Amino acid sequence: MAIRKFLSFILQTIMTGLAAAFLYVLLIDPDLLRDNSTVVEVIESRQETRTPAAADSTGSGAWNGPVSYADAVEKAVPAVVNIHTAKVITHRVHPLLKDPVFQKFFGDRFAKARKEIQTSLGSGVLISSQGYVLTNNHVIEGADQIQILLADGRSAKARVVGSDQDTDLAVLHLTADKLPSIVIGDSGRLRVGDVVLAIGNPFGVGQTVTSGIISATGRDHLGITAYEDFIQTDAAINPGNSGGALIDTRGALIGINSAIYSQSGGSQGIGFAIPINLAKGVMTQIIEKGYVARGWLGIEAQDLTPQLARTLGLTHTKGMLIGSVINDGPAANAGLQHGDIVVAINGEPVAGTNEAMKAISGVQPGTTIKLSGLRKGLPFTAQAKVIQRPGRNTPVD
């Protein structure tokens, strides 16, 4: 009997404790009943399930067809040509081989100049059915013979109409019937991310098409040419592609493939093309005159950066700082001096050296331009008569 009362007492005590604990949680700390585990809310993105497409012909970026650039390639490929060049290299004889003592023992067979034929490959673009081919100057520079291989298998000799080292462009001419020509595009409308195709003859394997996007526009200060405004692309450009076509998805020519940035000699996704809007002006002058008329002041200059302006104690932070002035050149005759800062040309503000040099080069030789600037912190103006840039662009005989 005593045992039964004892068990009953223990049971009542436990039940009372459980009831008290329940009331405490319910009335005093209800958070203990909640699930405190972290919940991640996932929002699914609604992606288009349709197949991506090529941009429309208006350039608006709207999608209107399947992913294939075959139509663009088919339109442009007939106008892209392979260029084979050959030149005779004469190896000079070392003076020792002409020495009478040497010739007494070995004769004069080593004293004769040795000649060899050096060949190279490149690409070009037919820009007119009249037979004009646009290519890079470095593709044909110094060549004694130039042979053009057309996409349809025909071959023809070409002559140099003219070349421009400052932009690395050259124009050739060939004579043949029913020549194709490429559609000229507008490189001024290009945007980073636009799809482009490179056509050329890399490593001499034959006509090849690669694709990529516009990585950047207006690339300069690369040390490739005197006047730089390159299109940068990741479309594979390799040796032999030089002078070939960079086209858009409509098959229009937007650039001339010119150079690659590479440590291995092959494509590493950084290629450069000359914009067709720049090439067009050079090409027109070469065809009409045989050379490029380009204004020249006779100065060496650099950008006026904010850091340089602070060093010189200047408040003006944009312009072209003249480093040196060539004796008897247009700038020297106009009174320009080392240390002058040109801030405007013909009233147009100068943002930097590259823009200023482009503006000067675009002026016809013989034209007088007005330069405004700062000299030792004080404003000045000068009148300079530009002349033809010497020694680099001359008519072809």
Task: Give the catalytic positions in this structure.
Answer: 138, 168, 242
Phi-psi region of 330 (alpha: psi -120 to 50; beta: other; left: phi over 0): alpha
- Tell me how far apart the alpha carbons of residues 314 and 317 are, in angstroms, rounded to a whole number: 7
- Tell me how far apart the alpha carbons of residues 265 and 118 are, in angstroms, rounded to a whole number: 20
- Residue type, position 7, single letter: L
* CB contact set of 13 (below 8 Å; sequence gap of 6+): none
- Tell me how far apart the alpha carbons of residues 159 and 53 are, in angstroms, rounded to a whole number: 42
Of the candidates 346, 351, 337, which has an alpha carbon nearest to the alpha carbon of residue 305?
Answer: 351
Terminal-to-terminal C-alpha distance of the chain: 135
Tokens 């937007």 map to which residue? Answer: 254
Half-sphere exposure of residue 388: CA atoms within 13 angstroms, side-chain side: 9
* CB contact set of 200 (below 8 Å; sequence gap of 6+): 80, 123, 207, 208, 237, 240, 241, 242, 243, 244, 245, 257
- Tell me how far apart the alpha carbons of residues 385 and 353 are, in angstroms, rounded to a whole number: 19
Torsion of CA 371, 375, 380, 386, to 10 degrees: -30
Using the 8-state DSSP alphabet, how is residue 347 labeled? T
- Encoded tokens for 163: 């070349």
215: enclosing H helix or E strand:
strand 208-219
Pairing of strands 299-303, 295-296: unpaired
* CB contact set of 340 (below 8 Å; sequence gap of 6+): 321, 322, 373, 374, 375, 380
Of the candidates 268, 282, 272, which has an alpha carbon nearest to the alpha carbon of residue 198?
Answer: 272
